[in-house]
Every structure is written in structure tokens, then in C-alpha cells.
Structure 1
Amino acid sequence: MGTGVRRRSRLAVAGRLGAAALSATVLVVAGCSWYGYGSLTDGLRTSDALSVTGKGAPPAAGDAVNLLLIGLDSRKDQNGNDLPRRFVQTELHAGSSDIGGYNTNTLILLHIPHGGGKVQAFSVPRDDYVETYDGDGRPQGMHKIKEAYGLAKAAAVPGLRAQGLTGAALEQKSREVGREATITTVQKLLGLRVDHFAEVNLLGFYDIAQVVQPITVCLKHVTSDPAMAGQGSGADFHAGLNTLDASQALAFVRQRHNLTGGDLDRTHRQQAFLASVEYKLKQQGLFSDLGRMQSLFSVVKKDVVLDDRWNVLDFAQQAPNLTGGHIAFNTLPIQGFGTRGGESVNLVDPAQIQRIVRRVTEPAPSAAPAPSSASASTSPASVAHAVVDVYNGSGVDGGAAAEADALAAAGYTRGRVANAAPAARTLVRYGSGAAAAAGQIAGRLGGGAGATASGSVAPGHVEVVLGAGFTPPPATGGGAASSGGGSAIPFQGQAVQAGGIPCVD
């Protein structure tokens, strides 16, 4: 891969940081059962930014937890020292250690419902043009949301120097101001209080990818992005499953060229990579392996900053939600593209974003849905876990979306929903690890639908192709979140579902 080009190095950062942030958070939460609280937190960097951002924040969401993952674009260590130039160029492929400020190129808020249930993750595109704020709520003006951190940090430095701060102390205190600004800006944009946060720097993805490689990902199409003359990511992948080492993983999460949605498609790549990492770690039993967990914790302690209110032992009860495949990654919508101050930006409607977030995070009114083809025979407690992709070859308008809703209501994880070529009968195929769920779903659908193993279906997934004779189930109602395939919630593209190896563009 070529190095030394500013534009290219900026493109590399967002995917790395998103993967590192969630990977590190999953490791912190899942590993807490192995450690006493003192040994677990010993060596972790903590921040008291929430003491500032909690003032004037939206009200708490009951006993639910909102966790913000911050991926920081910086080629400096926690004390403000430049990372070694050779390391940045040859290992991180991020240009020069002189490049890069303090942009938050990855922002993902996870809404973890009280008592279990699906975690809804909201990715905020880094170039969204919004009102940004200092930590105390004072407006900074209209900027890309990624710039709130760096603007606040830079503005704070002269005053902190006047107080006598220099070196590492100046770096750490000014970063606190940047964190406060980022958290407050996200709270105001989404209308949600941030209860906890985790921040990871540029080293995070590299360190974690080295530990967990190889990682299997899935692509819908063959793709290539040659690294020539300082351009391109070096991506060269075939359609279907690809097994990546750490270097290839960097190319996977940073490719932007030759993707229809450009930077927005790259956001989905980040989400898919996180889902694949989580799936691999769980399938390999890492969360019950003390030795391997200890080695990964050494990475987390070096690269991650957590808020000082995060009682990890108390938070451990949420670990099954984060490590059991119960996460849907949603990309918040944009209205289009524009140019502001000579820079390309995403135009957004904050009121629309807040309506969407409220719809997804507020509990739906309880109701007893009528029995349907997907809910009549098995209770949610007894379903075998799988991500279910539903394709409509029946000719019934809206059939795939209706069946996907019913399956989700029955307890399965909603996957891709799309049209398909006409099918003579309903088919159920499954990837490795999903045989039990496929058998249940085939039994629900009836009509001769049998479950068949298929190497073309991603592990942990069940693929349903609705055929002739399919009768759509009654509407399930409620306010469950979903996207694509006829969903009324206008997220930016299809949601990426954890619990398997999701296929993306």
C-alpha cells in the first residue's frame, strides 16, 4: 500500500477506530467476570468528562444504558508524543506521523435496553454538518461533527498553558475538553443522554487486529481498489467469504473508492467488521478463556480511555447483549451532500434524527400480536438464535418485509430483506451453526419448505426465499427498529446485524 498522502491517510482512520472501539468495549465488558474490580481497572485510563456533560443533558432513559464509542484520529500517544514515523508509515499505513489532528472519525452510540433485548447501535457519519458544542453547551458554530473534539481542544490549550500546564499534562487535560465537546454535541444531535463512553486512539485497531486475526468477512460483490501512486486502499476481495489478516482488514475497513455509497458504504464495512470480530470471539470461546482474555486486556488497557463512572462489574450483566449477537448497527440518515466553507459535507435534519432515535429507543406499547406464520408455534424464549435474511420470490407485495417483521417478533435477528427472482416454492437454506433455527423456521412456514445446508449462506445465517403460495402473516405492530426492505424507519442503507458474518457491499 502507498503511504504519505494526506487524503489517503485520512480515509484509513475511521474504519480502524470504529473496529477498535467496539472490540475493546466488548472485551472490557465480557472479561469482567474473570477479574476483581480492582485488578480489572488497574492500569485503565479514565476520564471525568461526564461530570461536565451531564449538566443540561437529556433525561436518563430509565434503566437503559447509552454507550458512546469514540474513535479518535490522532497519530500521537496518550501523552502527546508523535508515534514513530516508520511505524505509522509501514505498520499503520497512515501516511506521516505529522498528519492528523483530533477528529472523531468514528462515533457509534449503543442503546442497551434494560433487562436484555437487542442493542441498537447508531453510527453518526463523520461529515454530518451540524451545530457543534463545547462540553458546557456553548455553541461552537456549524461544523462537521467530527471536528467538535479538535476545535474544543485547540481553544482550551492557551488557557491551560496560562495555568502552567505543559507536556503530557497539557495533552491529557485538553483532550478532556475535546471529549466533553464531542459527548455534548452527540447528546444534542440525538436527543439521548450519554451514560458511558469509551475512546480509542489510532493504535487501537492495529493492536486488536493483530491479536484477533484472521477475521472472516463477507462481500456481496467482487471489489478492487489498487494502491497505486498513493491512491487506493489496496483492497482486492472476491464475492462471498474472505479471510483477512490484519493488513487486509485495514484495506477492508478503509476502502472508499469503487463503492457506490463511498464513505457511507465504508461505514457499513466498519459495522460488518465489528460484527465479524464479535462472532469469531464468541465462536472460539474467548469469553470463557482466562488466558486469552488476559492477553487481550493488555491491549485494552493500553489503547482505551473509559469514563470514571463505569462500574465494570455492575455493567457485566449487559455482556450477553454485546457478545451474543444481539446488536443491530444502524447508520443515521443524511438528506444529501453539499459544500460548506469549501468542504464537502453531509446535510442532515436533526429533528428527523431525533424522531428516529426516539422511535427506536423508546419502549413500544405492549400488545399481544395475533398468531402468524412466524409466531404461532414457538415462543421467543425457545428460538434457536440466527440472523434471518428474507427474499421475496412470491410476487406478494411487501411479503419479505412482513415475514421478516414476524420472524423478528418471534425472537430471531432480522437480517437482509430484498426481492428475488420468482420461486416455485418457499425455500429455507442455512449456513454453519444455524441448522436448529432453520429447522424451526421451515416448520413455521410449512407448505413443504424444508431446511437445506448451503455453503453460500453466511455462518449463523438462515436464508428464506418466499415462493408461490406464500401467505403473508398479519402485521406484528409495535415500534421495533429495522431498516431497508420496506421498513418505515429511514436509516442510511440496510442495518448490519451481529450474530454472524453479515454480507455488505
Structure 2
Amino acid sequence: MGNRVAVVVGKTVAAVASVAVLASVGVAWGTYRQLQGLGSSSALGADSPKSKDGAQNILVMGLTTRLDRDGNPLPQAVQDALHAGDGTRGGYNTNTMIVIHVPNDGSRAMAVSVPRDDEVTFVDDPLGQHTGKLKEAYGLAKEQKQEELYAQGERNQSTLEQQSREAGRKSTILNVSHLLDITIDHFAEVSLAGFYDLATQLDGIDVCLNHATSDTNAGANFRAGPQHLDGAQALAFVRQRDNLPNNDLDRTHRQQAFLAAVTTKLKTKGVFGSLGQMQDLITVASKDVVIDKDWDLLAFAQQASALTSGNIEFHTLPIKSYSQDSDGSDINVIDVPYVQAVVHTLFNPPAATSSAPAPTTTRPAPPPVKGQGSTVDIRNAGAPDGTAKRLSDALGAVGFTPGEKTTVDDQPTTVIYYGSAAKDDATTLATLLGNAKLVASSVASAHHVAVYLGKDFAWPAGLAGGAAPPPSTPTSVAIPTEGPQGGAVTGGGIPCVD
């Protein structure tokens, strides 16, 4: 599929390559799925939320492991060609995380690469770890599940590997979705060997570099300008990190350029019109790719025509600064609300504004607010900083008793919990705050109300207190074009990158 890989080691490319194939030859894949070589996963459950507007968000994750789906080392010949170490190297980090947004009308697709070293708060605390690099969620959850299975008496290596990888996929999907504040509709996981296999099957790819560069760790040695790379060189092209101005982030641009090059090669080589060539690619991809079991690739290919035409734009999500964690490991410090705003803007571009004046409407003034003295505790769970105090002060002026003001973990919606004697005040607050969810609490004091302000909170029109601060996640923001993440990489040709 048209995907653009993010900050990634070898697996990045694998994910990129194979997924690019899937998206590009989805129709053929739907025809030949009887090959049964493609791995299937239930990590996205049947009850998982789906995008409501008909668009689709596809998560492409590439693993660093040098093992196959059953936990066995890759053939030695493949290990040698990959120049990436043996089965003891790489672990289970998701060094590639790309989300591709495919609109429901076939228009330009947008892809965002999530830098692998972004420090996040894990939603699920895999292996008891609350914070860490986003790329680590897969491996931590996998290890936790494998320990559980082993404790239950499971000893079959293939079963341990497959079931624990399912836990890793679930954790990655959950944490990427939470970080970007989006729904993940489908996903594809690709192994490190996938890139090499694909590039080799295509007889190499064409790329362009702004400067000559080399990296002995990745096996990279490239001149400046356009050049043709075979499979092993292409893997080095996307794996190189050393001797690049922005290290991992420049590697992300390499991987994006690789995807653009793959799409161009598929078109110029006539693969889209050749069932034989498509079947050869499918056979290659079937060894290296796992997708969610409910992904109808035939239907997807019909929707995602922009991918095969090269009408896709790749962006790398911004970071705030570089730092180190308590173990001295390099991390990316990010501004989560800003990252979410960038994703929202790219995936939901603002509509063109009309020059005609907006129609005016007359709305009745909201009824006056009057509390009955209940103590109201405000928990900020996603509203802008300072909102809890402002709201508490405003409610204190209209008959409520101000209580505690604290900050808690984010949640999407506003919820009001109330004690046995505070239902009337809680109902008043729910109406004031836009019909927030009401929950009777058996542990709350009788005359207490606890308001958890979610990300959906908006300052109520019927309450004084001054202009509300801007929302925590802006509706749209200017897309950054400078900084280490760089500007956009577009498909449909051979872009030059560092």
C-alpha cells in the first residue's frame, strides 16, 4: 500500500516495502488470497472502533527482529544479505510506525511517520512499565504475554511466539491510537526480510541523494545524485542512521523516498497490468507480512486508487527536543497536543472558507445557573491547563461550593460522579457542561460532585469566567516545514533526500 515508513531500522523498510505492495496490488491480492501465505491477526478485535466518515487509517508497523513468524532465525543467506546481524539482534521494537490516511473519495492519501524514540505514557503499562519509547510497547507486551503463557505450562515455541506477538500488536495499536488521538481501522506488520525480498523481486529501485554518505554499521556507501540500488543496497539506504544530519529523522525521509520509488517502479515496470508479475510479488509478500483478519484488500484497493497513482504525501511528526531517559538512552520529547493537532490537520484539512457572510441566527439566552451548595471537585482529564481552577471559581460564584482541583490521566469525554444527596446539582452541571455523562457513585460523599473534564470539554456559554483558553488540541495548525522532522515527501516520482 502506499505507505511511508518512519524512523526505522531494517524492519522499517520491510514494513514499507511489503505494505506498499499490498496497497499497490490489493486487487490482485484479493484475487489470489487463496495462497494462504499471508499471516492473519486478531489484534484488532471485531469490536474495535472504526472511522465514521468512510476514510481508513492504516497502521504499518515494522519489527526489528531477525526471526520469522514462528520465532526461528532467518536463513543465513538472508541474514548476510540484510547486513543486520543474526537472530540475537534487534529485539521486538517497532522501529517503523506509519499511519496512512486514505480518504473515502479517492483523493490524495496522507501518511505520517511516528518517530520511534518518542517518549510516551503507555496506556496499558506493558510489563508494568508506565512510560518509555513508543517503539518499546510491542516488545514489552510480548514479553509479558510470553511469561504468562510459560507460567501456564505452554512450551511450544511456535505457539509462544505467535500468541505473544499478538499481545505486542495489540499494545502497539492501542498506544499509537492513543498518542495520535485517532482510530486505527487496519494494520500490517512486516518483517525485516520483507524489504530485501521486495526490492530484489523488483530488480532494485532508483533513489536520489542530496549528498554522498556512508555508514559501515548499515553497509551504506552512496554517492550524491540519482542511482540504482539492488536489494541489499536498498536495505542499507533505509537503515542508515549514522553520518546523517538528523539521524533517525533523516532515515525516516529515506524510507518515505523508498516507498515513493517502489510505487514508481511498480508503474513503470507494468506490474499493475501483469497478473504474473503481481502474483510473484504476492508470493514474496506472503512470507513477510501479517495483516488484521478483517481487512478486505479488494475493497481497499478500489478506495485507495491514489496510492497506486503516487498521489500520496508523507510527513514526519514533529518533536520538541532531544533528551535522555533515566537509563541514559536517547529519547524524543514531544508536545502531545501539538502532535495530535498536526495529525488532525493532515487527515482532516480545513474546508475552503466562503467569502459570503455567514447567516445570523438568534439563540435564546441560556437559563441562569444556580447551585444548591454541593461541593464540586474538578479533575482535569484533558482540558487546557488552568481550566480546573477557572471552572471551580466560576461555579463558586453561582451557588456551588468549590472543592479539590487536580490533574489526572486524560480521557476523551467529560463525566460527572455524584453522591447520594447531590443528584440535582450534578444534573444541573451536566446540562451546563453540554449533557456530560452522569454516574451515581456509592463511594462519593453525599453532598459531593466530582467533575472529570475530558478532552471534549468546552467552556459553557451559560457560565461567566472570561474567555475560555484555546482547546488542548487545536482544530487545525500550520504544518511544520522546518526543524529536524523536515518537510513533506511526495509520491509520484523519485524525490531527493539527505
Is TM > 0.5 for Structure 1 vs Structure 2? yes
Aligned-residue offset at 1:53: 8.2
Aligned-residue offset at 1:138: 10
Q: TM-score, normalised by structure 1?
A: 0.69
Alignment-derived partner of residue 87 in structure 2: 97
1:220 to 206, 210, 230: 210
Change (3 A) 1:186 1:129: same
| Residue identity opposite 1:120 in structure 2 | M
Q: Does 1:162 align with 2:155?
A: no
Alignment-derived partner of residue 82 in structure 1: 73
Alignment-derived partner of residue 275 in structure 1: 260
Q: 1:134 is paired with a residue of what secondary structure? A: coil
1:111 to 101, 104, 115: 101
Q: 1:217 is paired with a residue of what secondary structure? A: strand
Q: 2:285 is paired with a residue of what secondary structure? A: helix
Whole-angstrom CA distance in 2 between matches of 1:178 and 1:52: 18
Q: Is the 8 A contact 1:72 1:105 kept in 2?
A: yes
Q: 1:14 is paired with a residue of what secondary structure? A: coil
Aligned-residue offset at 1:49: 0.8
2:135 to 129, 132, 146: 146
2:269 to 261, 275, 284: 284
Change (3 A) 1:96 1:20: closer
Q: Does 1:484 align with 2:481?
A: yes
Alignment of 1:408-487 (within 5 A): 483-484=480-481
Change (3 A) 1:255 1:363: closer
Kindly provide the CA deviation profile for residues 447-468 of structure 1, in whole angstroms up to 9, marking residues without a partner as x.
xxxxxxxxxxxxxxxxxxxxxx
Q: Is the 8 A contact 1:21 1:70 kept in 2?
A: yes
Alignment-derived partner of residue 343 in structure 1: 329
Q: Does 1:493 align with 2:479?
A: no
Alignment-derived partner of residue 338 in structure 2: 352
Aligned-residue offset at 1:168: 0.6
Alignment-derived partner of residue 314 in structure 2: 329
Alignment-derived partner of residue 188 in structure 1: 178
Whole-angstrom CA distance in 2 between matches of 1:209 and 1:321: 22
Q: TM-score, normalised by structure 2?
A: 0.70
Change (3 A) 1:116 1:483: farther
Q: 2:122 is paired with a residue of what secondary structure? A: strand
Aligned-residue offset at 1:61: 4.4
| Structure 1 stretch displaced more, 25-34 or 91-100 | 25-34
Alignment-derived partner of residue 134 in structure 1: 124
Q: 1:97 is paired with a residue of what secondary structure? A: coil
Whole-angstrom CA distance in 2 between matches of 1:497 and 1:369: 31
Kindly provide the CA deviation profile for residues 350-377 of structure 1, in whole angstroms up to 9, marking residues without a partner as x.
111111111121242244699xxxxxxx
Q: 1:43 is paired with a residue of what secondary structure? A: coil
Alignment-derived partner of residue 504 in structure 1: 497
Q: Is the 8 A contact 1:129 1:347 kept in 2?
A: yes
1:60 to 47, 51, 55: 51
Kindly provide the CA deviation profile for residues 395-446 of structure 1, in whole angstroms up to 9, marking residues without a partner as x.
xxxxxxxxxxxxxxxxxxxxxxxxxxxxxxxxxxxxxxxxxxxxxxxxxxxx
Aligned-residue offset at 1:220: 1.3
Q: Does 1:251 align with 2:236?
A: yes
Q: Is the 8 A contact 1:130 1:144 kept in 2?
A: yes
Kindly provide the CA deviation profile for residues 80-131 of structure 1, in whole angstroms up to 9, marking residues without a partner as x.
12234x3364221112322221100000000111111111111011111111
| Residue identity opposite 2:259 in structure 1 | L
Whole-angstrom CA distance in 2 between matches of 1:45 and 1:256: 30
Aligned-residue offset at 1:134: 3.2
Alignment-derived partner of residue 23 in structure 2: 29
Q: Is the 8 A contact 1:16 1:204 kept in 2?
A: no
Whole-angstrom CA distance in 2 between matches of 1:102 and 1:234: 22
Give 5+ residue unaligned stretches, structure 1.
1-12, 371-477
Alignment-derived partner of residue 202 in structure 1: 192
| Residue identity opposite 1:365 in structure 2 | A
Aligned-residue offset at 1:255: 1.8
Aligned-residue offset at 1:248: 1.6
Q: Is the 8 A contact 1:133 1:182 kept in 2?
A: no
Change (3 A) 1:354 1:35: closer
Change (3 A) 1:246 1:38: closer
Kindly provide the CA deviation profile for residues 225-248 of structure 1, in whole angstroms up to 9, marking residues without a partner as x.
3x3xxxx43323222211111122
| Residue identity opposite 1:68 in structure 2 | L
Aligned-residue offset at 1:326: 1.0
Alignment-derived partner of residue 317 in structure 1: 302
Whole-angstrom CA distance in 1 between matches of 2:481 and 2:36: 44
Aligned-residue offset at 1:18: 2.6
Alignment-derived partner of residue 264 in structure 1: 249
Q: Is the 8 A contact 2:41 2:290 kept in 1?
A: yes
Alignment-derived partner of residue 418 in structure 2: none
Q: Is the 8 A contact 2:73 2:86 kept in 1?
A: no
Whole-angstrom CA distance in 1 between matches of 2:34 and 2:478: 34
Q: Does 1:20 align with 2:14?
A: yes
Alignment-derived partner of residue 461 in structure 1: none
Q: 2:90 is paired with a residue of what secondary structure? A: coil
Kindly provide the CA deviation profile for residues 308-330 of structure 1, in whole angstroms up to 9, marking residues without a partner as x.
11012211213421111111110
| Residue identity opposite 1:141 in structure 2 | H
Whole-angstrom CA distance in 1 between matches of 2:478 and 2:38: 34
Alignment-derived partner of residue 220 in structure 2: 235
Aligned length: 372
Whole-angstrom CA distance in 1 between matches of 2:252 and 2:47: 27
| Structure 1 stretch displaced more, 116-125 or 314-323 | 314-323
Q: 2:8 is paired with a residue of what secondary structure? A: helix
Q: 2:119 is paired with a residue of what secondary structure? A: strand
Larger Rg: 2
Aligned-residue offset at 1:480: 9.9
Aligned-residue offset at 1:224: 3.1
| Structure 1 stretch displaced more, 238-247 or 180-189 | 238-247
Kindly provide the CA deviation profile for residues 45-67 of structure 1, in whole angstroms up to 9, marking residues without a partner as x.
1111111882xx6x624111000
| Residue identity opposite 1:150 in structure 2 | G
Change (3 A) 1:481 1:68: farther
Whole-angstrom CA distance in 1 between matches of 2:206 and 2:199: 12
Change (3 A) 1:320 1:122: same
Q: Is the 8 A contact 1:103 1:146 kept in 2?
A: yes
Change (3 A) 1:369 1:64: farther
| Residue identity opposite 2:120 in structure 1 | V
Whole-angstrom CA distance in 2 between matches of 1:97 and 1:34: 33
Q: Is the 8 A contact 2:11 2:65 kept in 1?
A: no
| Residue identity opposite 1:293 in structure 2 | M
Change (3 A) 1:222 1:32: closer
Q: 2:62 is paired with a residue of what secondary structure? A: strand
RMSD (Å), alpha carbons: 2.6
